[in-house]
Amino acid sequence: MKKQTLCGLVFITLLMLAFPVAAEDEEQSWPRVLEGKTRTITMYQPQLDSWKNGALESRAAVSVKQGEGVPVFGAVWISGRFEVDRDTRMVHFSSITVPAVAFPEASKEDQQELTDFLEREIPKWDLSISLDLVLPMLEDAEFDESAEAQLKNSPPEIIVKHEPAVLVIIDGEPKLQDIEDSKLERVVNTPYVIVKHKTTFYLAADTLWYKAFDVMGPWETTNNLPKEVRKVDEALKMQRKKDEQPAAEATEEKPDSRVPMLVVSTVPAELIFVDGELELAPVEDTDLLLVSNTDSDVMFDIAGQDYYVLLSGRWFRSKDLDRGPWTFVPGDELPAPFKEIPAESEVGYVRASVVGTEEAREALLEQAVPQTAAVKSSAGASLEVEYDGSPKFDTVEGTAMKYAVNTAAAVILSGGRYYCCDQGIWYESASPSGGWTVCKEVPDEIYTIPPSNPHYNITYVKVYDSTPEEVYVGYTPGYTGSYVSHGSVVYGTGWYYPSYWSPYHYYPYHSTWGFHVRWNPWYGWGFGLSYSTGPFRLTIGWGGYGGFYGGGYRAGYRHGYHHGGHDGGKRPSHHGNTRPNDNIYGRPSNSDRVAKTQDRNTRQQSKVANNRANNVYTDRSGNVYRRNDNCNWDKRDKGGWAKNNGVPSSGNRARPSTGGTTQPSARPSLPAQPFARDGRSSSGSLNRDYNARQRGSQRSNNFRSSGHSSRGGSMGGMRGGGGGRRR
């Protein structure tokens, strides 16, 4: 191959990972093409080998064609860092290097020149790919798997009502605090707006108010508000106008004009609203019946004569729906019919909580994907930690560490130094009050904090690398409350964490129960009300009850139960859900902390080869294969395609050494990949690469067709974590 060919080849290979394609175009985003003056380079979708600690290793089949000549096929290996943006569900690559290439039809000299060129040019490119294409590839790659967490899976108090009802959670006995410049008191240990005027409590729903003489009820609606409460009403109206979300799509159903009753609980609880007498409908192709007149996920197993309800990703079972008692059932111990629930059915989304399904495996893979950012080394100057008086610390059980209890921040004392995790970034200081500097190395001891501690979630925030100017950080979904238990993904630790209270401050912790948490395959956990419809919404926020609630969360946005419909698996248009998995690093509070990424729109873009199938792969030795129309494999050999006997293996974890040899030389193997739960060999086969590519395209297409909007409400983080509170 001539130098000119190499440059043309390479020039487009930069494109390699160069997948600057919007997520909505992913179904036709590969292969990618770059056309030079005399050469055209085609790159097929990369295959992932390693995804660990914010770094990746991948390989891709490429072809170089001169004029009308026969294309020359080969393989390119690429290493670098990845940056994940969950808001846009895109993965961007940086710090790219090209450790090896393999072009059997090129000379050693040409291969070395190609390697040098790629190492020089690829960092100039905008390399991006849809997260939904990446996820299925993780299953056969080395990655940081989320360990099973020792969670508490005892059922909450499960309340079943057969008339419209909304659950109002109060964290223990009501705690009242005077509202400044007012004659009112506010119940501070609840995310709902509850105020007390003289002997009467008032609770705000968006278009109406409730009142009661006892905070536990009974509550009734009222239009007669005292003057001081009317001021609160006006303030809430201004807040709603300021951050009003788009209306849900119109439906043919008439709005439910019924006003729901309020059910108050001072202990962890969940409420199931069944609209009247129980209505059961068969779940296609199974021996299960769906309780169809509820928006909760309730099913009846005919063989066992048991009811099952899915709450915060956990299954609970009872013989009596109304009275219980309920017992926890691990996702890997469910009756066989649960695996038979059709993915396309009305409740197909619950398969993500049934161990052994494709959806459950992909939900586990989501847990391995961190939200990442490059943070300025100087960012610590903006962090201020305030305490209610002098700092007070309590012991982290089972360790020598201590944690601060009278602050909204997550401050840990370890080895004589103080570490604070705020907004997904680690800081350290010699004093509990600062000054703080961005932490470049977190003590291993911190990652032993147990789930019984309220700051367990910060063990999912990592520091990957650093330079004098930047620190590379990231957090996996455990930071925002998503964990692995019994082989499936659940929300919350299940532990109850007593809040801190004084006459001046109230610092709550996050809760597993009470907010109708449900898994969605695209945005993770969504939150809503047990019942909400028409003009009724329950106002949550108003003054920042806690970092976990994000200040201003709207529950049940013009949506809730409607007869005969379950929406948990669809991509809603704000339908009563907000997203806990938004990009914390993209919040305004982090704008001065996160290093700005170079504008990708200014970088060279490639185009899609629309007339070419994305059916070419490379194994880990650099051999190139094509999946033909008969679902068999052809191997590239001597300038043409030859039939291959059997299913080609992906090979062991080796790659050609840098230096231009046409024959690959082995390098040390990566650690054994722990995710292969079904006995798969770590060497894999190209059939699995093919299946992963197909599943990724399907995920991306489904995401696009489900009405995706890259922005929405946010509800991420936990106390001292995703949403730090400042006064």
Mean pLDDT of 650-676: 42
pLDDT tens digit sequence for 609-623: 777 888 999 998 889
Least confident segment among 105-109, 532-536, 539-543, 555-559: 555-559
CB atoms within 10 A of CB 688: 19
Amino acid 681: pLDDT: 39
- 662, two tokens: 């046409």
Q: Map residue 3 onto helix, strand or coil.
A: helix
Domain ranges of the chain: 3-144+606-705, 371-475
Amino acid 706: pLDDT: 58
pLDDT tens digit sequence for 677-693: 343 433 468 888 988 88
pLDDT at position 264 over 90: yes
- Cα–Cα distance measured from residue 473 to residue 374, given in angstroms and rounded to the nearest whole number: 6
CB atoms within 10 A of CB 579: 23
Contact 656, 114 (CB under 8 A): no
Residues contacting residue 454 through CB under 8 Å, at least 6 positions apart? 403, 495, 497, 509, 510, 719
Amino acid 236: pLDDT: 85
Amino acid 246: pLDDT: 53
Q: Angle CA(29)–CA(22)–CA(36) in degrees, nearest 5? A: 55
pLDDT at position 522 over 50: yes
pLDDT tens digit sequence for 18-73: 333 333 344 457 887 776 666 677 888 889 999 888 888 999 898 877 777 778 88
Mean pLDDT of 84-98: 81
Mean pLDDT of 424-449: 94
Contact 263, 159 (CB under 8 A): yes
pLDDT at position 562 over 50: no
Contact 487, 675 (CB under 8 A): no
Q: What are residue 295's phi and psi, to 5 degrees?
A: -90, -5
- Cα–Cα distance measured from residue 214 to residue 196, given in angstroms and rounded to the nearest whole number: 10
pLDDT tens digit sequence for 374-432: 899 999 888 999 999 999 999 999 999 999 999 999 999 999 999 999 999 999 999 99
* 277 to 161, 290, 350, 531: CA distances (angstroms): 10, 14, 24, 16
Q: Angle CA(347)–CA(348)–CA(349) in degrees, nearest 5? A: 90
Please report which confidence band the pLDDT of residue 578 belongs to, taking 50, 70 and 90 as the band edges: very low
pLDDT at position 96 over 70: yes
For the stretch 135-156, what's the b/e string if a residue is b when 16 or more beta carbons lie within 10 angstroms of its beta carbon?
A: bbbbbbbbbbbbeebebebebb
**Mean confidence (pLDDT) of the chain:** 77
Amino acid 678: pLDDT: 42
pLDDT at position 103 over 90: no
- Cα–Cα distance measured from residue 193 to residue 170, given in angstroms and rounded to the nearest whole number: 11
pLDDT tens digit sequence for 239-251: 777 766 555 454 4
More confident residue, 316 or 248: 316
Amino acid 114: pLDDT: 60
pTM: 0.80
pLDDT at position 532 over 50: no
More confident residue, 304 or 590: 304
Which helix or strand (DSSP H or E) is residue 178 part of? strand 176-178
Residues in the chain, overall count: 727
pLDDT tens digit sequence for 685-719: 888 898 888 888 888 777 766 554 332 333 333 44
**Percentage with pLDDT > 70 across the chain:** 73
Amino acid 4: pLDDT: 38
Please report which confidence band the pLDDT of residue 656 belongs to, taking 50, 70 and 90 as the band edges: low
Give the chain's count of helices (H) and strands (E).
6, 46
* 415 to 418, 423, 465, 528: CA distances (angstroms): 8, 23, 22, 42
Contact 277, 162 (CB under 8 A): yes
Mean pLDDT of 244-272: 74
pLDDT at position 604 over 80: no
CB atoms within 10 A of CB 627: 19
Amino acid 654: pLDDT: 57
Q: Map residue 381 onto helix, strand or coil.
A: helix
Amino acid 355: pLDDT: 94
More confident residue, 572 or 155: 155
- Cα–Cα distance measured from residue 88 to residue 90, given in angstroms and rounded to the nearest whole number: 5
Amino acid 547: pLDDT: 28
Amino acid 683: pLDDT: 46
Amino acid 662: pLDDT: 34
Least confident segment among 84-88, 95-99, 242-246: 242-246
